[in-house]
C-alpha cells in the first residue's frame, strides 16, 4: 500500500467534506432576505436531485450493469425511502405536526450514500495517478458546492436550525472519507457493488424531489414568486446535465 496515495485520498475527501459548510455564507443574511432566498434554493435542490437521479446516478448504474437492473434497484430505493419516511413520521410527528419534517432526514441518508460513492471515485482516480485524482476531486467539488447549498436550504426549510443543519450536513458529507478509505483498501470489491449504491441513491433522490420538495413548491400562492421557483428548479436540472456533459461520466 502506498502511504502517499492514501494521504492524498484522505486530504481530498476531507476537502470535499468541508464543502458541507458552504451554508455558512447565509448566517450573516437578514432573516427576511434569507426567507426570500430559501424557497428558491429548495427549488434548485429539487431540480438538482431529480436531474442527478436520472441523468447521473441512474445512467451510470445502467452503464455498469443493465438498464433493467438499474431501474429495479431505483424502484427499490424509491420504495425504501417511502417506508422510511412513514416510519419517521410515526416516531417524530404528533397530531400531524412535525418539528422537523422527515424529508430532512431522508436527504441526509441519500446524500450520505452519494458522498460515499464520490469517495470511492476519488480513491479510484488517485490509484490511477495523482494528477488524475486532483482533477477528479476538483470536478466533484465543483458540482458539490451548489448541491450542498441546496441541501442546507432543504434542512433549514424542513425545520433544522442553521447551525444544526451545517453540522448534520457535514456529518453526511464525511461518508466521502469512508468511501475513500474503503476504495483504497478494497477498491475492486466496492466497484462490483457500485451500481447498487448508485441506483439506490437515485431512487432516494427521485423520491425526495418528487414526493417532498416539489409539493412544497406548489404551496407558493404568489404567481410571480412561483414562476421564479420553477425557473430555479429548471436551473437545478440544467446544472446537473451541464456537469454531466462536462465531466463525461
Supply the pTM of this predicted model.
0.71
18, part of any domain: no
**Residue 139 CB neighbours (<10 A):** 17
**Predicted confidence (pLDDT) per residue in 163-221, tens digit:** 898 999 899 889 999 989 988 888 666 667 778 878 888 888 898 888 878 888 888 77
| Number of domains comprising the chain | 1
30, part of any domain: no
23, part of any domain: no
CA 205 to each of CA 45, 113, 151, 178: distance values in angstroms, whole numbers, following the listed order: 10, 10, 11, 21
28, part of any domain: no
**Predicted confidence (pLDDT) per residue in 77-121, tens digit:** 899 888 877 776 665 565 556 566 777 888 888 888 888 888 888
- Domain residues for the domain of 139 are 40-92+103-247
pLDDT surpasses 80 at 73: yes
227, part of any domain: yes
pLDDT at 96: 53
Is the separation of the CB atoms in 198 and 74 below 8 Å?
Answer: no
172, part of any domain: yes
Amino acid at each position: 500500500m502506498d502511504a502517499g496515495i492514501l494521504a492524498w485520498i484522505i486530504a481530498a475527501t476531507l476537502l470535499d467534506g468541508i464543502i458541507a459548510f458552504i451554508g455558512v455564507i447565509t448566517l450573516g443574511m437578514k432573516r427576511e432576505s434569507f426567507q426570500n432566498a430559501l424557497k428558491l434554493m429548495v427549488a434548485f435542490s429539487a431540480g438538482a436531485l431529480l436531474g442527478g437521479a436520472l441523468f447521473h446516478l441512474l445512467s451510470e448504474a445502467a452503464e455498469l450493469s443493465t438498464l433493467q437492473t438499474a431501474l429495479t434497484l431505483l424502484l427499490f430505493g424509491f420504495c425504501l425511502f417511502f417506508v422510511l419516511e412513514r416510519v419517521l413520521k410515526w416516531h417524530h410527528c404528533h397530531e400531524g405536526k412535525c418539528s422537523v419534517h422527515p424529508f430532512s432526514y431522508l436527504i441526509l441518508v441519500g446524500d450520505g450514500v452519494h458522498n460515499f460513492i464520490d469517495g470511492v471515485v476519488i480513491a479510484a482516480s488517485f490509484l490511477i495517478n495523482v494528477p488524475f485524482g486532483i482533477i477528479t476531486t476538483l470536478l466533484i467539488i465543483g458540482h458539490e458546492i451548489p448541491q450542498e447549498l441546496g441541501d442546507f436550504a432543504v434542512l433549514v426549510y424542513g425545520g433544522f436550525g442553521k447551525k444544526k443543519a451545517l453540522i448534520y450536513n457535514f456529518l453526511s458529507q464525511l461518508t466521502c472519507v469512508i468511501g475513500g478509505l474503503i476504495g483504497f483498501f478494497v477498491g475492486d470489491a466496492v466497484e462490483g457493488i457500485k451500481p447498487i449504491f448508485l441506483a439506490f441513491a437515485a431512487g432516494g433522490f427521485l423520491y425526495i424531489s418528487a414526493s417532498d420538495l416539489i409539493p412544497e413548491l406548489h404551496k407558493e400562492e404568489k404567481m410571480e414568486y412561483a414562476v421564479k421557483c420553477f425557473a430555479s428548479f429548471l436551473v437545478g436540472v440544467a446544472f446537473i446535465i451541464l456537469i454531466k456533459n462536462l465531466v463525461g461520466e
